């Protein structure tokens, strides 16, 4: 009976970690009415089976056959994403209209855009909306449409119809993965269809993706990269990952990892980065 209860509890821990992103030891102990040490043993067992990865105070699910939640992604490549977002925000000029995609990396641009003046941000997801809602100098337009809870982004015909009525100076896009041959990879075709529309309506296209996303093919829905696309990644991206993009005519920018400073105008990056 005790073994069956342990198996049931562990299965529920994995299910919750997949659906909500992170599972905390103390919260799980209260939920299941067991001690924190019991939960830690459960997490150790699940880690040994490759079902979760331990984090400070809890665990995150590992499942290559399922799309990660926004909460899960928020702890992946945190420093790299923050550096990429800071560099991307510096490309925005006064008077411009820019489109910011849903996702954790592009969403991280919000803190760096708050002090911009005379800028219009077209928001494709909730993350950037939350970051900029109290920025008086920024005009916000929202794509609307159907909300995907997993990514907190808008998709569908209403979002596409909104895009068809506007153009933007710059589009900053996220991705589940990026491949030099196929383009941006997402879990569903409805997402890649919207990505294509975003890129079509932009004068300049930036794809923000840390090194772990390069050359990967986790799903089967793709949005090809148009000529002149800029791929913004981090300094850990090796030449074998970035060379195929440059060979395909994509400009590659590698942003070094470092703590943000007050003068983030000075954030350096190397193009090509070989």
State pLDDT tens for residues 210-266: 998 999 888 889 999 999 999 999 999 999 999 999 999 999 999 997 544 433 333
Q: Any idea which residue has 């890129």 for tokens? A: 199
User: pTM score, two decimals?
Assistant: 0.70
Residue-level pLDDT at 54:
60
| Distance, CA of 106 to CA of 42 (rounded, Å) | 35
| Distance, CA of 145 to CA of 128 (rounded, Å) | 16
Give helix 25-32 / helix 36-48 axis angle, nearest 10°.
110
Q: Are 111 and 133 in contact (CB under 8 A)?
A: no
Q: Any idea which residue has 């050359």 for tokens? A: 215
Residue-level pLDDT at 235:
93
The pLDDT of residue 190 is above 90:
yes
- Give mean pLDDT, residues 130-147: 93
Residue-level pLDDT at 273:
36
| Distance, CA of 273 to CA of 214 (rounded, Å) | 14
If one counts every other C-beta atom within 10 angstroms of the C-beta of residue 212, the result is: 16
Question: Where does the pLDDT of residue 26 fall: very low under 50, low under 70, confident under 90, or very high at 90 and above?
Answer: confident
Helix (H, G, I), strand (E, B) or coil at 98: strand
- Give mean pLDDT, residues 96-119: 94
Picking from 157, 145, 163, the residue whose alpha carbon sits closest to that of residue 201 is 163
Picking from 118, 32, 105, the residue whose alpha carbon sits closest to that of residue 74 is 105
């Amino acid at each position: 009976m005790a073994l069956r209860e342990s198996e049931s509890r562990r299965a529920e821990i994995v299910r919750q970690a997949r659906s909500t992103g992170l599972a905390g030891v103390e919260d799980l102990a209260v939920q299941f009415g067991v001690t924190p040490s019991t939960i830690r043993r459960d997490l150790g067992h699940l880690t040994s089976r490759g079902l979760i990865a331990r984090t400070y105070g809890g665990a995150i699910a590992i499942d290559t056959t399922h799309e990660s939640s926004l909460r899960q992604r928020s702890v992946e490549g945190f420093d790299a994403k923050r550096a990429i977002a800071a560099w991307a925000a510096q490309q925005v000029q006064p008077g411009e209209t820019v489109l910011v995609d849903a996702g954790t990396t592009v969403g991280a641009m919000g803190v760096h855009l708050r002090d911009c003046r005379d800028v219009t941000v077209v928001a494709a997801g909730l993350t950037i909306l939350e970051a900029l809602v109290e920025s008086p100098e920024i005009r916000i337009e929202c794509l609307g449409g159907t909300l995907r809870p997993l990514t907190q982004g808008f998709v569908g015909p209403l979002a596409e119809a909104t895009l068809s009525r506007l153009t933007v100076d710059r589009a900053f896009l996220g991705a589940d993965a990026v491949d030099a041959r196929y383009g941006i990879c997402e879990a569903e075709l409805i997402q890649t269809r919207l990505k294509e529309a975003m890129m079509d309506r932009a004068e300049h296209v930036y794809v923000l993706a840390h090194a772990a996303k390069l050359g990967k093919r986790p799903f089967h829905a793709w949005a090809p990269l148009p000529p002149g696309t800029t791929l913004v990644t981090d300094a850990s991206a090796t030449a074998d990952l970035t060379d195929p993009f440059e060979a395909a005519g994509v400009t590659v920018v590698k942003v070094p990892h470092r703590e943000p400073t007050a003068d983030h105008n000075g954030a350096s990056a190397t193009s090509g980065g070989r």
